[in-house]
Amino acid sequence: MTDNDPSVAEPNDSSNAGGPETDTETNSNEKAYWSENIRLLWTLMAIWFVVSFGAGILFRDFLDQFSLGGYPLGFWFAQQGSIYVFVLLIFYYTWKMKKIERKYDLDD
Partner 1 sequence: MDTQTLIYIFVGLSFSLYIGIAIWSRAGSTKEFYVAGGGVNPVVNGMATAADWMSAASFISMAGIIAFSGYDGSVYLMGWTGGYVMLALLLAPYLRKFGQFTVPDFIGTRYYSKTARVVAVICLIFISFTYIAGQMRGVGIVFSRFLDVPITMGVIIGMAIVFFYAVLGGMKGITYTQVAQYCVLIFAYMVPAFFISFLVTGNPIPQLGLGSTVNDGSGLYVLQKLDLVLQDMGFGAYTDGSKSMIDVFCITAALMVGTAGLPHVIVRFFTVPKASDARKSAGWALIFIALLYTTAPAVGAFARINFIETVDQTEYAKAPAWFKNWESNDLIAWTDKNGDGKMEYRSGNAFAGSPEFTGETGASGERLIANTVNPDSENEVYVDRDIMVLANPEIANLPGWVIALVAAGGLAAALSTAAGLLLVISSSISHDLLKSTFRPQITEKGELLAARIAATAAIIVAGYLGIYPPGWVAQVVAFAFGLAAASLFPAIFMGIFSKSMNKEGAIAGMVSGLVFTFSYIAYFKLIAPDANVAANWLLGISPEGIGVIGMIINFAIAIAVSKMTDSPPVEVRKLIDSIRVPRGAGDAATH
> Distances in Å between the alpha carbon of 29 and those of 48, 69, 98?
29, 50, 16
Q: Is 36 in the site for partner 1 (CB under 8 A)?
A: no
DSSP, res 49:
H
Residue choice 62, 97, 99, 103 for contact with partner 1 (CB under 8 A): 97
Q: Is 45 in the site for partner 1 (CB under 8 A)?
A: yes
Query: What is the separation, in whole angstroms, between the first and last Cα of the chain?
Result: 28
Residue choice 32, 46, 83, 103 for contact with partner 1 (CB under 8 A): 83
- Of 66 and 68, which has the nearer Cβ to partner 1? 68
Q: Rounded distance, CA 19 to CA 27, Å?
A: 14
Q: Is 5 in the site for partner 1 (CB under 8 A)?
A: yes
CB 26 within 8 A of CB 33: no
CB 56 within 8 A of CB 74: yes
Q: Which residues bind partner 1 (CB under 8 A)?
A: 1, 3-5, 7-9, 11, 13-15, 17-19, 30, 33-34, 37, 41, 44-45, 48, 52-53, 56-58, 64, 68-72, 75-76, 78-80, 82-84, 86-87, 89-91, 93-94, 97-98, 101, 106-108
